[in-house]
Amino acid sequence: MADAQPLDLTEPVATPRTRAILARRLADIVGLPSSRITPRERWIVGDLLYDVIRASELELRQRCARRLAGLSDAPHRLLRTLACDKFEVAEPILEQCQALTDFDMLEIVSAGSMQHRLTIAKRENLSETVSAALAAYGEPPVVERLLRNRTATLATPTLDHLVGAALEESGYAQLLIRREELRPAQAFRLFWGCEHMDRFQILERFAVDRTILLEASEDIFPMASQESWSDPMVARVLRYIDRRQRDREASERSTYGSLEGVCEAMAMDGAHPDIVSEIANLASVDHRLVARMIEDMAGEPLAILCKATGLKWPSFQNMWRGLGRREDSDPCHQARKVFDSLSVEKAQTVLRYWNLSMEDKD
């Protein structure tokens, strides 16, 4: 790593003419084709040039960087040194040089400035490793440029990190939604920090039905029942697949008679803890999830809950009134748009992903 540290030079002293000519000649030799110079000779000349440029002024280092940027065989220590130099020296290397390896770029990311990282973030075909290193710095301009780079590859842990960061940096959400690598669990987690249009895009892309799963597992439900649902993992997965959302036994025990009845009570009494707990019980979801939906000032989460449980729009209106919110507000209209656009199965997919994420926190 020491070789890649930024140069610490005294700039006022001009490079002597002889040294400048020597540096140019050495750079010319380094750039000779493989038919004219052996790898060992190139390494030796590269070491000499490395020593010269480390003791030379900015202008000479810039000329060397421009000369070497287009070479595919330049010694990597030399390239890394120039690429970690001041940005006006490093720029042509960072923009043009195809000889930089992942190892080189990791050193540059670490040793360089934000300008260095911004330039690397727009390079073509960035690997998962380099993308992760750029994202780890948490610099919004760098992250946004990285997310716009369609040729960069983002690993799942990197996306997880950026989805979490999107709660603080709202500009990330739109860019993350467009990434092909984004997975449903990440998208539905991202949903909570998004504006309405971003939320709608997430639902359009990731809220899918479960027809194939239902058809493939239809005979497994009676098998699990015969075993008294003794396998927790089987029970967890089948809860996600099941067509039914409401807990029928809970409805029979409820003093409100049904989920619709709870919504009517909420319109009159508000969202007090007993009401929230009863909605969670009847809808077969974690009470923390219902609480989060109620705390969300937009209406989309509650609209998804209503659609997934087979409630009609008047039940949503009852819940909305119980929260003291206006029915002529934009959030209510946006919730209606989501309610009308989703099928019951697609809404269940979203709700169950959220519910599983709550269970994973236990």
Q: What is the pLDDT along the chain (362 residues), one digit of tens a residue?
A: 334 444 444 443 455 777 777 777 777 777 667 777 777 777 777 777 777 777 677 887 888 888 888 877 778 888 888 999 999 999 999 999 998 999 999 999 999 999 999 999 999 999 999 999 999 999 999 999 999 999 999 999 999 999 999 988 988 999 999 999 999 999 999 999 999 999 999 999 999 887 787 788 888 888 888 888 889 888 888 877 777 888 888 888 888 989 999 999 999 999 999 999 999 999 999 999 999 999 998 999 999 999 999 999 999 999 999 999 999 999 999 999 999 999 999 999 999 989 988 776 65
- 3-state SS of the chain: helix, strand, coil percent to 5? 70, 0, 30
**Residue with token string 């030796």:** 44
- The reply to whether 167 and 222 lie within a common domain is no
Three-state DSSP class for 55?
coil
Cβ atoms of 313 and 339 within 8 Å: the answer is yes
Cβ contacts of residue 116 below 8 Å, gap of 6+?
Answer: 83, 84, 87, 90, 94, 108, 109
- The reply to whether 344 and 233 lie within a common domain is yes
The domain of 106 spans 1-112
Cβ contacts of residue 28 below 8 Å, gap of 6+?
Answer: 67
Q: How far is CA 31 from the centre of its chain?
A: 40
Of 112, 128, 158, which residue sits at a domain end?
112
**Residue with token string 């990285």:** 146
Q: Check the CA dihedral 325-326-327-332 and report its sign.
A: negative
**Residue with token string 């989501």:** 338
Q: What phi and psi values does residue 170 have, to the nearest 5 degrees?
A: -65, -25
Domain count, the chain: 3
Q: What is the mean pLDDT of the chain?
A: 87
- The reply to whether 141 and 247 lie within a common domain is no
Provide the CB-side half-sphere exposure for 190 (13 A, CA).
33
- The reply to whether 146 and 219 lie within a common domain is no
